[in-house]
Amino acid sequence: MHGMRKAFNTLLLLLALGSAVFMAPVCTWCDDGAAANRQFNFAVSLFEEGDYFRAVSEFKRLVFYYPDQRELCVEAAYMICRSYKEARRWDECIDACRRFEKSYPGSGRRNRVRLIKAYAEGQLKRFDDALSSYEHILKDGTDGDSAQKALYGSAITLVDTRRWDEARRTFERIPPGSDLHRSAVIFAKGLQNIDNVPRKTPVRAGALAALLPGAGHLYTERPRDALVAFLLNGAFIWATVELIEDENYAAGGLVGFFELGWYSGNIYSAVSSAHKYNRKREHDFIQGLKEKSGAWLYMDPEAKCTCFMYAMRF
Amino acid sequence: MFAVLFIVAFVADAHEWPPWSYGEDKTPLSIADAKQNRLFPPAQAVKWALKAFAATVSRVDGDRCAMMPSCSAYAIQAVEKHGFTVGLIMAFDRLMRCGGDEYRYASLMTARDGYSRIYDPLSHNDFWWYKTPDNLDK
């Protein structure tokens, strides 16, 4: 009886040990899933606090320690791209997006990542790259929302490169059913008036400045600069003439050299002022259109229709 | 002693390298780069004269320029970037505009001394003929 009891206890012990050995991987897997979720939530909380640097580290930690949690890893890699974008670390953002495309080419997030990449390229003034990234999304054609945002983004990029007609045509391609259609219509209509923005002719400004120092500045609406240019040139020309009439050629030559500098500087300044005037007018016009149409929201990959409409000014 | 030096070096390093820029290449220009940046003698002479002005007259006279970078720093940059003739023309242009109507076209920036100055870098004045990615609208 005693022997049987002992054998039963031994069998029980062996069963317990065996089940522990067989169940261990399952439990570890359960633990991994829970731990990865906790890790992801922590990283998201850092992202929401605006601590993007640490958020990136924590998302990377998740990808490194829990590569088997594929869905979470894809989300983490996507959040890394977003973190870099929010932190305005454009080069790192583009690298992260490239890594994402390489590691998870079939992911549902791929077009949103491409949108982020295109935006970062635009911020770095790499407009051709940005346009090519938008084109990539349009060719993919699987995600309607991202495709419309890509269309809108490429139109904005064309605006940034001053290709007004192409930009207007691209805005017009956005379908009426899209959330972005109303904004695109405002932009397209506004761009029809871009030629009516007041401009100054650089050649005329330069010619006026050459004829009478300061006149070019007056033409470009810079009265104080005009007065300074007129007085400086006048004083130096007068001094040069007086010195040469007094046969003081060395001093006359020196003052004349400086006058040459003031005179050519005055012409350069007038031409440059005309260009700056035009750029400022165009910039203000485009900025007004962007604000009126709520264009800044198109780049938020998580932006929803209602949010977008609410942001528009009427 | 070594421990103190190590801590000092570490603190200095931490100050110099904020988290985001850790690992960025901060090495100074190589000799090859420096040779490439060597200026034509007249331009070099203008640059030295302007540096001498900044080191002597400006130091006594004070930092009174209304623009940022200051006119002398701007002139040095212009000569370095565009050479003697164009650099000097741009310097004269800047001297004429200093503190004038530029504030209507440029933004104000707070300098290290706490005063607001008109931000007018070189790229704001050569963008219309010197096309590089850095010179595009900013």
**Six-digit token string for A252:** 């006359």
Q: Which helix (H) or strand (E) holds B116?
A: strand B116-119
Q: Do B96 and A269 count as a contact with CB atoms less than 8 A apart?
A: yes
Q: Which domain, by its residues, includes A218?
A: 202-287
Kindly list the residues from chain A whose CB atom is less than 8 angstroms away from the CB atom of residue B102: 225
Q: Do B20 and A89 count as a contact with CB atoms less than 8 A apart?
A: yes
- Does B48 fall in a domain? yes
CA contacts within 13 A on the Cβ side of A190: 21
- Residues A93 and A83 grouped into a single domain: no
- Does A95 fall in a domain? yes
Q: Do A265 and B96 count as a contact with CB atoms less than 8 A apart?
A: yes
Are residues A184 and A155 in contact, defined by beta-carbon separation less than 8 angstroms? Answer: yes
- What's the pLDDT tens digit per position in A237-293? 999 999 999 999 999 999 999 999 999 999 999 999 999 999 999 999 998 988 888
Kindly list the residues from chain B whose CB atom is less than 8 angstroms away from the CB atom of residue A279: 127, 137
- Residues A213 and A245 grouped into a single domain: yes
Q: At what angle do helices A52-65 and A2-49 cross, to 10 degrees?
A: 150
- Does A50 fall in a domain? yes
- Residues A214 and A189 grouped into a single domain: no
Q: Which domain, by its residues, includes B121?
A: 40-135
Q: At what angle do helices B71-97 and A223-245 cross, to 10 degrees?
A: 90
Cβ of residue B17 closer than 8 Å to a chain A Cβ: no
DSSP assigned state of B20: G
First CA to last CA distance, chain B: 49
- Residues A213 and A169 grouped into a single domain: no
- Residues A115 and A187 grouped into a single domain: yes
- Does A24 fall in a domain? no
Please list the residues that pair with B116 across neighbouring strands: B110
ipTM of the complex: 0.76
- Residues A280 and A266 grouped into a single domain: yes
Kindly list the residues from chain B whose CB atom is less than 8 angstroms away from the CB atom of residue A269: 93, 96-97
- Does B17 fall in a domain? no
Give the one of A53, A225, A277 whose C-beta lies nearest to B100's C-beta. A225
Cβ-based neighbour number of residue A104 at 10 Å: 17
Q: How far apart are CA A181 and CA A300, in angstroms?
A: 16
CA distance A45 to chain B (A): 19
- Residues A167 and A244 grouped into a single domain: no
Q: Do A53 and B137 count as a contact with CB atoms less than 8 A apart?
A: no
Q: Which of A108, A112, A113 is nearest to A95 (CA)?
A: A113
Report the number of distinct structural domains present in chain A: 3
Average pLDDT in chain A = 87
Region of A294 please: left (phi>0), alpha (psi -120 to 50) or beta: left
Please list the residues that pair with A279 across neighbouring strands: none
Q: Which of A39, A43, A106, A104 is nearest to A79 (CA)?
A: A43
- Does B24 fall in a domain? no
Q: Which of A150, A172, A196 is the last residue of a domain?
A: A196
Q: Verify cis geometry, omega within 30 degrees of 0, for the bond prior to B69.
A: yes
Cβ of residue B127 closer than 8 Å to a chain A Cβ: yes
Q: How far apart are CA A44 and CA A203, in angstroms?
A: 56
pLDDT band of A217, cuts 50, 70, 90? very high
- Does A314 fall in a domain? no
Cβ of residue A264 closer than 8 Å to a chain B Cβ: yes
Q: Which of A283, A278, A284, A267 is nearest to A217 (CA)?
A: A267
Kindly list the residues from chain B whose CB atom is less than 8 angstroms away from the CB atom of residue A280: 105
Q: Find the CATH number of the domain harbouring A163.
A: 1.25.40.10
Q: How far apart are CA A8 and CA A12, in angstroms?
A: 6
Q: Do A265 and B92 count as a contact with CB atoms less than 8 A apart?
A: yes
Cβ-based neighbour number of residue A47 at 10 Å: 20
Cβ of residue B22 closer than 8 Å to a chain A Cβ: no
Q: Which of A196, A230, A245 is the last residue of a domain?
A: A196
Give the one of A221, A225, A262 whose C-beta lies nearest to B97's C-beta. A225
- Does A297 fall in a domain? no
- What's the pLDDT tens digit per position in A92-151? 999 999 999 999 988 889 999 999 999 999 999 899 999 999 999 998 877 778 888 899
Report the number of distinct structural domains present in chain B: 1
- Does A181 fall in a domain? yes
- Does A161 fall in a domain? yes
pLDDT of A306: 37
Q: At what angle do helices A70-86 and A52-65 cross, to 10 degrees?
A: 160
Please list the residues that pair with B109 across neighbouring strands: B117
Kindly list the residues from chain B whose CB atom is less than 8 angstroms away from the CB atom of residue A265: 89-96
Q: Do A268 and B93 count as a contact with CB atoms less than 8 A apart?
A: yes
Q: Which of A177, A196, A215 is the last residue of a domain?
A: A196
Per-residue pLDDT of chain B (138 residues; tens, 9 = 90+): 455 555 544 444 444 455 676 656 555 555 445 545 677 888 889 899 999 998 888 888 888 889 999 999 999 999 999 999 999 999 999 999 998 898 888 888 887 778 889 999 999 999 888 876 555 544
- Residues A96 and A188 grouped into a single domain: yes
Cβ of residue B125 closer than 8 Å to a chain A Cβ: yes
